[in-house]
Structures are given as C-alpha cells and as structure tokens.
A and B are shown apart, each in its own frame.
Chain A
Amino acid sequence: MSDLRELYQEVILDHYRSPRNFGHHQPSNREAKGNNPLCGDKFTVYALVEDGMVKDISFEGRGCAISTASASLMTELLKGQTEQNAQAMFERFRGVVTGEQDQRLDDGLDKLNVLAGVRGYPMRVKCATLAWHTLKAALNQTDETVVTE
C-alpha cells in the first residue's frame, strides 16, 4: 500500500477534488480535445497564446485522479511560459512519468514530482500525460482529437 500512497499523495487528491483553472471562463485562441478511450476520460484544453507566450490555460472535462491532477498542475505551471518552454517542459515531465528520466525535476517543475509514482503503473502513464498531449495539440493547432490508449 505504501507505493499506492505515493501514487495518491495528498497533493494529487487535492488537485483532483479542486482542480485549478477548471472551466472555460477566460478568452482563448487555441483549444484541443483529448480522450483516453481506455477509461473514458475526456478533456478539452484551452490556451491563450500571444507573442509566443502561453498567457492563459484552462481545461474542462472529466477524468481520473491522475489525469485530472496532472491537468490541473499543468495549467498552473505552464501559464506564463513561452510556447517553446512549454513544449520542453512536457518532454521533461514525460521523461519523469515514463521512468526514462530518473532525476527529480527542479527549477520550477518540482511540483510535478508528485506524479513520478505513475511510472510503476504503465497503464496509468497515459492518464498522467493526457492533458499535456492535448495542450501540445492545441499549441500546434492540430484540430484532431488527441487519443491516448
């Protein structure tokens, strides 16, 4: 049960129960939908991008604790970043949840270390990265629905 406690840390449960930047209340000029057919999770991610900066991000939809908390943390961390930085952060985050990258994240991304526990659950990596893939699609302006399975 100890590794489960690590997976379901208080921070994750907190973001699950009260996701930040939830709902489409602010202006946006980019959006994409993402879904995970395996568990029925569906998110829409909205972004306001100006001068290469991600000025605002929000999301809506429903998902499990892991995908919701990850989406919520993502919106907090990527708001105010350059598009380029956002993409780079996704790559670093992905490295951590897949276990490809063994080091803990630092310089502003340390909050994401709470999600490192999913590397023990390969089926759940898709949950952790769903919102990120979706944001990436929104930033790249691809209209296609993102599917992780």
Chain B
Amino acid sequence: MTDTASPTETAPRFDAAAIRDQFPILGTRSHGKPLTFLDSAASAQKPQAVIDAVAETYAFQYANVHRGVYELSERTSAAFEAVRGKARGLINAAHDNEIVFTSGATEGINLVAQSWGRANLGPGDEVLITEMEHHSNIVPWQLLRDEMGITLKVAPFDDHGVLIMEAFEKLLSERTKLVSVTQISNALGTVLPVREITAMAHAAGALVLVDGAQGVPHLAIDVRALDCDFYTFSGHKLYGPSGTGVLYGKADLLAHMPPWKGGGDMITSVTFEKTEFAAPPMRFEAGTPNIAGIIGMGAAMDWVAGLDQGGLAAHEDDLLAYGAACLSEIPGLRIIGTAPDKAAVISFVLNYAHPHDIGTVLDNQGVAVRTGHHCAQPVMEHFDVAATVRASFGAYSSRDDIDALVNALEIVRELLG
C-alpha cells in the first residue's frame, strides 16, 4: 500500500470535500491559519449529524432511560436502546444483548479484566498481549497481576512494527487464558492479523479480546468472522461523542460473567440481604449512562454506514501512501512504523528536532498533530525514541492536509534545522 503512490500521482475520485463540509470545526482557524487537523487517531471530529443528534436529544427527547413510565422517558429509552442494534450491525454481532455500552475502549478492557478476569483467572494463569498495546491494554492486566498473581506475557514486534507471529505462537501455552490485542496500533498504524491470532489463541484454549479503538474507524468489522470473544471500541474515535463506547462479548460468555460495578439499572431486585442481577447487557451498565452521548454514537454509526465504504477505504489508503511518499522525501525524517499492512497513521521523528518542538511549530501554522508517546511507551522504547510526531487521518482528511503538514515541516527546518 505504501510503496506504490508517488506525490505526483492523482488522487482517486472519492469526494472528501463533501464529507469535509459536514464537519463545522474543519472550517475554523487556529493561530489565524485554517485548521489542519491531523489528530483523528486521538479523537475524531464530529459531523453535523452527530452534533444535531446530541443537541436534539437535549432539546426534545431527554429523560432518564429505563426508569420512567412516562412517554418522554420511553422515547428516550427507545432511542438509546436502538443504538445497540446499530452497534450490532456495525460489527456484525449476532444479538443486541451482546452489546454493552461503556464510556470507551478503556472501560471495555477494564470490564473484561475486572469481571471475566477476576472470575476466571488465578495464580499462574497467563494473559498474552503485544508490545504495541495502548496503555489501556497493559495497565488493567498489571492491576490484575499485582492483585491475583497472574502472569503478563508480551509478544514482540519487529523493526517495521510487525508482530512477530512465530514469537507470538511460542508464547501461547495451556497456561494462556486470554489473548488481548489491538487491531491497529495507534502509535505505528500496524494492522494486526487478528483473525489468525484468534484462531491460534483458540487452538491453545485461550479467549481473545480485540481492542478495536483504532480498528473500527478504518476497517470493516465482523466479530463473527473474526470469532473473537470480546471486542471493544470508543465512540469518539468513530466521529461520535466522547465518553461513549461498546464492549461486545459472546452471549454465553457475558451470561456467566459477574457484575463489576454495583448500582442502579443493573439489578432485578435488591433487598439488604440479597440482590438479583439483571441479565447482560444491563448487568454491566450500572448507573445512569451517557444518554445523549450514546444516542450521538448511534448517529455516528449511521453516518459512517452512509459512506461509500470502498471509496472511504481507498481514500484512506491514498492518504497513507501519499503522506508516506511526501514525508519520506524530507531530509532527516524517519518514519516509525513501516508495516506493509498499515492504516491511517504516520508516526515520525526528525533527526534535528524534538517532537515537542516540532509540534509547537506545526501548531503555530495551524497544523494539529499529536506529539508524545501516544500512551504506548513500550513502542517508543523499542525504537529508542522518547516521543514521535503522529499525523493521523479520518474520512474528512485530504491531500491538502498533508501538503500543509509538509509546508509546516519546512518551517521547522528553517527554525530548528
């Protein structure tokens, strides 16, 4: 994907401009310059449809869910519950009750760790992750390790940022109870072969949790084809509101998992002696949820479903190829993460300037990129850098954004080179 396009080639016909127009924030300015937003992997911007859905919820259709007998509460509950069906469709789950609403991917992983993990893991059991996980797929397992004496194993990647499958396979054993892997690395852009990983893990008797925080915005997801046991993602990276997300779990697994948070909405009856817990997904959704946010996430899923999927994928591939081609012509620039199968992320360093200084200069030109360790410090350590600059793309990104980045990097060279 990355090695075919050159900066002079013309872009495919995908109409990113019409998509872009639906994002009000992309028409704003930063430091007096038109905003060039290249930080979608951290959080995507929101289309008008999502902004409207949230605003209309608060304006016309808002009450607590699942609690009132009055019409307004019923309408709100219906709009809220309808999002389960949208999420099921998005990832091709079998049943709506396999969709647990969360505050994001982080909460989804913690839910699996605290509910399934505490109930099913014990001293000596192993959880296998990879070296390219986001901190949110490292720390929850370390907490369990320190508490329950489980062992955390880490499968390494090579210098392109590709997971070394032989090493991964060697780390699997009958002690492995769970394999928890990201589908796309947020720091490197690497797409992991999660289907193959799942098959290998299942063969070893382990369950599989896929962190789809970066996967969902860029890939077509079919959890039944992947056959993963859990899949989690965040609404805000999929053009939806922050504080929203989904944990998918196979119905028979969820059915046998204990609650992990206690409160309202997750019970069928409570006395001081005994509480009967609700069935999934409600068992895992204690307390008043992010009602307008979840409804907004549903609007985002509708919005994404309305895009020409083939065109979108081709558009993002083009941006990646164009971006890599343009950036690799810049003297002193090194791209970190050069896996053949990559998505929507270009991390890089310059040999004469620190990412933080680069970020400040780019910001001054209206170019928003992420600089830092991207919540993936082990990845930084692998490449022996403290931080990288990361440009990442969404459906609304364009070659103009990359040109703006390249021009701003020229100013970095003038100032710091």
By a beta-carbon cutoff of 8 Å, the part of chain A in contact with chain B is 1, 3-5, 7-8, 13, 37-42, 62-66, 121, 123-124, 127
By a beta-carbon cutoff of 8 Å, the part of chain B in contact with chain A is 353-357, 360-361, 364, 371-373, 377, 380, 386-387, 411, 415-416
14 contacts between A and B (CB under 8 A): A3-B364, A4-B364, A5-B415, A39-B354, A39-B386, A39-B387, A40-B377, A41-B356, A41-B386, A64-B355, A64-B356, A64-B357, A65-B416, A124-B360
Q: Which residues of A contact B364 (CB under 8 A)?
A: 1, 3-4
Extra 17 A-B pairs, beta carbons < 8 Å, given A38-B372, A65-B357: A1-B364, A1-B411, A1-B415, A4-B415, A7-B360, A8-B361, A39-B371, A39-B372, A39-B386, A40-B387, A42-B386, A63-B354, A63-B386, A65-B354, A65-B416, A123-B360, A124-B356
How many Å lie between the Cα of A64 and that of B387 in the bound state?
10
Q: CB-nearest residue of chain A relative to B353?
A: A65
Q: Which residues of A contact B353 (CB under 8 A)?
A: 65
Q: Which residues of A contact B415 (CB under 8 A)?
A: 1, 4-5, 8
How many Å lie between the Cα of A9 and that of B48 in the bound state?
43
> Which of A3, A13, A42, A127 is in CB contact (< 8 Å) with B356?
A127
Q: Which residues of B contact A37 (CB under 8 A)?
A: 373
Q: Which 7 A-B pairs have the closest CB atoms?
A: A40-B386, A64-B354, A64-B356, A39-B356, A40-B387, A65-B357, A64-B357
Q: CB-nearest residue of chain A relative to B354?
A: A64
User: What is the distance, in angstroms, from A148's C-beta to the closest C-beta of chain B?
Assistant: 12
Q: Which residues of B contact A127 (CB under 8 A)?
A: 356
Q: Which residues of B contact A64 (CB under 8 A)?
A: 354-357
Q: Which residues of A contact B355 (CB under 8 A)?
A: 39, 64
Q: What secondary structure prevails in chain B residues at the interface with A?
A: helix
Q: CB-nearest residue of chain B relative to A5?
A: B415
How many Å lie between the Cα of A27 and that of B371 in the bound state?
36
How many Å lie between the Cα of A121 and that of B360 in the bound state?
8
Q: Which residues of B contact A7 (CB under 8 A)?
A: 360
Q: CB-nearest residue of chain B relative to A124?
A: B360
Q: Is A40 in contact with B416, judged by CB distance below 8 angstroms?
A: no
User: What is the distance, in angstroms, from A2's C-beta to the closest C-beta of chain B?
Assistant: 10
How many Å lie between the Cα of A121 and that of B357 in the bound state?
11
User: What is the distance, in angstroms, from A22's C-beta to the closest C-beta of chain B?
Assistant: 15
Q: Which residues of A contact B354 (CB under 8 A)?
A: 39, 63-65
> Which of B360, B361, B380, B411 is in CB contact (< 8 Å) with A40?
B380
Q: Which residues of A contact B357 (CB under 8 A)?
A: 8, 64-66
How many Å lie between the Cα of A4 and that of B413 in the bound state?
12
Q: Is A8 in contact with B373, judged by CB distance below 8 angstroms?
A: no
User: What is the distance, in angstroms, from B250's C-beta to the closest C-beta of chain A?
Assistant: 37
How many Å lie between the Cα of A124 and that of B355 in the bound state?
12
> Which of A3, A40, A62 is in CB contact (< 8 Å) with B373?
A40
Q: CB-nearest residue of chain A relative to B361?
A: A4
